[in-house]
């Protein structure tokens, strides 16, 4: 009997779901039937994420279907998943990580394979930059102080069309999504992790299961990538300890090299004026501990105060909504 695999219906989500289905067939001999579920985030495709509840809305209905038994497993971009999963759910497997960095994309016809400095020269001193991520805009304000960061929603093709139509001078996207959907040539410059720490889990496809479903757990364990798994564990541990969510300016990235791991964490004010930064190194077998240690260092360096101010700013904006 085929497993019912739940996913959103966007191009990237379907790519990810089909990737999991293919690997399940190849490695475990298990057929997966893809079930498309429309989420609240899809229905509110033009609203700013900070106004509608953040990226949690891209997984809520899928997780509800999983808990109800309507599907057997779910596939997500792991950066869209809540730091603490609903009771009864677990991450059963992850696929090998794609490029975790953020990318600058310039309009069609502009040069690619540039350095970040080259991109900055190309877009001028006060560019209009499209991004709906407070994490990205807060960090990039530190190198693009005169830039105007504008919200941009829609699927990848929609965002590229808006860019090419002249609505923005540049947009910031995840390198992973561009590469997976065959648009890697549009990457004008990949932004170094030192300049913009990625979102926790960026570039990792996660398979979510019911914690007590041993049949599915056993099946998906055969497709799990251990390096991506420990990286995701460390990065999610940073966010969990900080108590932050998807729309908080938190960056966390675990670089795995054999049995060694380096975890970089960052919390920054929305205007980029204050930042807490930490780097912790250790054994990848202690991924969760390293993530917690990174978060503790961030807290000792003022991350709790920064996050409190960010939450207060969000609350003030929400209070002004009609």
Question: Alpha-carbon distance 20 to 22, whole Å?
Answer: 5
SS3 314: helix
Question: Alpha-carbon distance 142 to 110, whole Å?
Answer: 24
- The radius of gyration of the chain's CA atoms, rounded to the nearest angstrom, is 19
Q: Other C-beta atoms within 10 Å of 103: how many?
A: 24
Catalytic member of 80, 99, 102, 169: 80
Question: Alpha-carbon distance 9 to 77, whole Å?
Answer: 13
The CA-based angle 17-23-26, given to 5 degrees, is 140
Q: What is the crossing angle of helices 11-28 and 214-221, to 10°?
A: 90
Question: Alpha-carbon distance 149 to 101, whole Å?
Answer: 19
| Tokens of residue 139, six digits | 């960090």
First to last CA, the chain: 49
By DSSP bridging, strand 170-174 and strand 250-257 are unpaired
Q: Assess whether 271 carries a catalytic annotation.
A: no
Strand residues in 165-274 grouped as ranges (E): 170-174, 189-190, 205-210, 250-257, 260-268
> Residue 32: which of 207, 232, 229 has the closest Cα?
207
> Residue 154: which of 19, 11, 318 has the closest Cα?
11
Contact (CB, 8 A) for 288 and 252: no
Active site residues per annotation: 80
């Amino acid at each position: 009997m085929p497993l019912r695999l739940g996913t959103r219906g966007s191009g990237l989500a379907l790519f990810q779901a089909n990737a999991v289905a293919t690997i399940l067939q190849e490695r475990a001999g298990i057929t997966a039937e893809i079930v498309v579920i429309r989420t609240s985030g899809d229905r509110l495709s033009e609203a700013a994420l900070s106004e509608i509840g953040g990226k949690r809305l891209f997984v809520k209905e899928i997780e509800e279907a999983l808990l109800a038994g309507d599907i057997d497993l779910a596939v997500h971009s792991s950066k869209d998943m809540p730091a603490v999963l609903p009771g009864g759910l677990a991450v059963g497997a992850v696929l090998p990580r794609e490029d975790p960095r953020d990318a600058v994309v310039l309009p069609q016809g502009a040069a690619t394979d540039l350095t970040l400095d080259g991109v900055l020269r190309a877009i001028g001193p006060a560019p209009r930059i499209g991004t709906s991520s407070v994490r990205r805009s807060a960090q990039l304000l530190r190198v693009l102080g005169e830039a105007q960061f504008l919200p941009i929603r829609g699927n990848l093709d929609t965002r590229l069309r808006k860019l090419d139509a002249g609505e923005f001078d540049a947009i910031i996207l995840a390198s992973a999504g561009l590469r997976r959907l065959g648009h890697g040539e549009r990457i004008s410059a990949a932004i170094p992790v030192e300049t913009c720490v990625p979102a926790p889990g960026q570039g990792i496809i996660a398979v979510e299961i019911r914690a007590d479903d041993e049949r599915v757990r056993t099946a998906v364990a055969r497709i799990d990538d251990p390096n991506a798994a420990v990286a995701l564990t460390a990065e999610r541990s940073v966010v969990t300890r900080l108590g932050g969510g998807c729309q908080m300016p938190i960056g966390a990235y675990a670089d795995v090299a054999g049995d060694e791991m380096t975890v970089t964490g960052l919390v920054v004010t929305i205007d980029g004026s204050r930042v807490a930064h930490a780097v912790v190194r250790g054994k990848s077998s202690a991924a969760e501990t390293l993530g917690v240690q990174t978060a503790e260092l961030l807290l000792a360096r003022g991350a709790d105060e920064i996050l409190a101010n960010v939450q207060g700013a969000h609350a003030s904006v929400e209070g002004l909504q009609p």
